[in-house]
């Protein structure tokens, strides 16, 4: 990007977001499919003898038809896009395995970034008063993790949280090497997978002493929730731990069905908001039911309501749509983050807010092996069906949070925690409330955090092993997107008097904040 080296991209983008609504590009696929490309076009000379069919693998075109990808980027830049996305939505090892292209992941992502980089830099040279930016597109893969419908037994998964972290790390590294300005983690269907991507990003940033701005975008369907049942507010609470440039929604439905979710997000988000919907709902014949001018008008309405900072298009939209959206928001002031109260938010599929006037918050503790002989017996016997029923009774009797503890001799606590949480995820009436991951073993806590798509609570950490260990665990808990209970316990032992409790708590608070 042709900008002063002493100015960070994040600072430039934040300044622009405070000045005006930024325009994101539209669909890559709609442009490609309109060209009627055939199998030989996707293969090119590079993959002429590839053993698997490649038609509809748009990422392959980065290597076989780079001129076409360049043309698409320039068309969106001509339409007024401030940010163009790389052709890498499915460019992860897990997603490209379908086409047998997993060994080309690094090359595809790096090359895609370089193609977009050249196009954006050309426009920035000619319009130095309006810089253009490249966002590395990171999609959700074609897998699920939080629940996996049809996979048996229901307490197992085809891939783990760690598998997804490794999967995304390969893509992140290559996109950054290719020169993207920011990253767009988008179309979040399974929010546990999205959280794995955010974990991979935070881990990569820390290990390589680099930090790029990130847009975090979930997907809402026609029932007003994510694919795996989170409300719009629960989606936000699940990802709010991450230091995103913007948070919002894309894909899924048209702008008309996003009015409620975007309004809800605008009421609680402490970050700028991005919205780039599909061209309406799918029509069942490969197209979409939406209307360009209607979509532009709706996004213009969102802008005038003070809800958005970044707008654009997703599936089915074209440069003409982006130009129309740009006209609709031109001159409208961007959303300003409102003054919001410092309430505590936790969530499963729904949000629990703890306000100053909130009465007792009820934590169900009968799924705690150390506190319930019945639950301990059920887990030792492997009777998880009955154990889930113990959880159900507590939730139906009014528990606001469900405490899970598997610490016991002769039990594989990590395996038991993982198995039980996966079974709870399959129960809609139980998955709606926040969970408390309770253990004296750090390995059990992390095993539990890798199973939760919402914002859980860790019980607990303390200063008994010193400040370094305390902060190390706190940073990891935040990276997983959880809250934490801090015990009044330090290197000298557990606090007994009121003064000692205040002393330890104040020290922990200073360290954490």
Domain range annotation of the chain: 11-329, 344-512
List the pLDDT tens digit at each of the 513 positions of the chain.
444 333 599 999 999 999 999 999 999 998 899 999 999 999 999 999 999 999 999 999 999 999 999 999 999 999 999 999 999 999 999 999 999 999 999 999 999 999 999 999 999 998 887 899 999 999 999 999 999 999 999 999 999 999 999 999 999 999 999 999 999 999 999 999 999 999 999 999 999 999 999 999 999 999 999 999 999 999 999 999 999 999 999 999 999 999 999 999 999 999 999 999 999 988 877 788 899 999 999 999 999 999 999 999 999 999 999 999 999 999 999 999 999 999 999 999 999 999 999 999 999 999 999 989 999 999 999 999 999 999 999 999 999 999 999 999 999 999 999 999 999 999 999 999 999 999 999 999 999 999 999 999 999 999 999 999 999 999 999 999 999 999 999 999 999 999 999 999 999 999 999
Torsion of CA 290, 293, 297, 299, to 10 degrees: 60
Instruction: Read off φ and ψ for residue 12, nearest 5 degrees.
Output: -65, -45
CA distance 400 to 354: 11
Identify the pLDDT of residue 357: 96
Say if 11-329 and 344-512 have the same CATH topology: yes
Query: Quick one: DSSP state of residue 332?
Result: P
pTM of the model: 0.97
What the block records as the tokens of 384 is 């998880």
CA distances from 230 to 135, 220, 233, 447 (A): 26, 9, 8, 22
- In CATH, what class is 344-512? alpha beta
Provide the pLDDT for residue 1: 42
The 10 Å Cβ neighbour count of residue 45 is 7
Strand residue runs (E) in 42-193? 83-85, 133-138, 182-188
Cα dist from 190 to 76, 153, 228, 253, 276, whole Å: 29, 19, 6, 16, 18
| Residue 291 near residue 310, CB atoms below 8 Å | no
Please report the pLDDT score of residue 5 as a whole number: 38
DSSP calls for 53-75: --TT-GGGHHHH-HHHHHHHHHH
Domain spanning 11-329 has what CATH number? 3.20.20.330
């Amino acid at each position: 990007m042709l900008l002063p080296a002493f100015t960070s991209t994040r600072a430039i983008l934040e300044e622009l977001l405070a000045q005006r609504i930024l325009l994101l590009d539209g669909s890559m696929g709609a442009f490609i499919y309109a060209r009627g490309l055939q199998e030989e076009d996707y293969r090119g000379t590079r993959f002429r003898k590839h053993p698997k069919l490649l038609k509809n693998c748009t990422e392959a075109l980065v290597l076989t038809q780079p001129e076409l990808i360049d043309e698409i980027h320039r068309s969106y830049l001509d339409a007024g896009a401030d940010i163009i996305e790389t052709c890498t939505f499915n460019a992860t090892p897990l997603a490209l395995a379908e086409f047998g292209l997993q060994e080309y992941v690094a090359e595809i992502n790096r090359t895609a970034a370089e193609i977009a980089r050249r196009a954006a830099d050309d426009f920035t040279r000619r319009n130095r008063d309006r810089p253009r930016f490249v966002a590395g597109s990171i999609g959700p893969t074609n897998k699920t993790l939080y629940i996996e419908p049809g996979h048996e037994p229901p307490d197992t998964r085809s891939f783990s949280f760690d598998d997804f972290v490794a999967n995304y790390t390969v893509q992140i590294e290559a996109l950054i090497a290719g020169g993207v300005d920011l990253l767009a983690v988008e179309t979040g269907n399974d929010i546990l997978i999205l959280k794995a991507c955010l974990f991979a990003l935070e881990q990569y940033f820390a290990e390589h002493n680099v930090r790029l701005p990130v847009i975090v975008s979930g997907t809402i369907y026609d029932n007003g929730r994510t694919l795996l049942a989170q409300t719009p507010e629960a989606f936000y609470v699940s990802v709010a731990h991450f230091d995103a440039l913007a948070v919002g929604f894309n894909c899924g439905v048209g702008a008309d069905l996003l009015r409620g979710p975007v309004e809800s997000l605008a009421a609680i988000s402490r970050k700028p908001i991005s919205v780039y919907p599909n061209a309406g709902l799918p029509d069942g014949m490969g197209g979409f039911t939406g209307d360009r001018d209607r979509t532009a008008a709706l996004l213009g309405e969102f802008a005038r309501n003070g809800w958005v900072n970044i707008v654009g298009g997703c599936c089915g939209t074209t440069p003409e749509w982006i130009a129309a959206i740009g006209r609709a928001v031109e001159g409208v002031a961007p959303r300003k983050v409102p003054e919001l109260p410092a309430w505590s938010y936790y969530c499963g599929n729904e949000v629990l807010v703890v306000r100053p006037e909130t009465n007792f918050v009820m934590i169900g503790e009968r799924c705690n092996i150390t506190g319930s002989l019945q639950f301990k017996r059920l887990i030792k016997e492997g009777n998880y069906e009955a154990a889930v029923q113990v959880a159900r009774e507590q939730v139906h009797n009014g528990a606001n949070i469900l405490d899970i503890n598997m610490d016991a001799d002769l039990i594989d606590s990590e395996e038991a925690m993982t198995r039980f949480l996966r079974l709870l995820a399959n129960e809609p009436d139980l998955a709606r409330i926040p969970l408390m991951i309770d253990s004296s073993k750090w390995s059990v806590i992390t095993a539990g955090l890798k199973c939760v798509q919402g914002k859980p609570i860790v019980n607990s950490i303390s200063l008994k092993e010193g400040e370094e260990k305390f902060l190390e665990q706190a940073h990891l808990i935040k990276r997983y997107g959880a809250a934490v209970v801090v015990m009044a316990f330090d290197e000298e032992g557990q606090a007994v008097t009121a003064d000692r409790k205040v002393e330890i708590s104040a020290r922990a608070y200073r360290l954490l904040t």
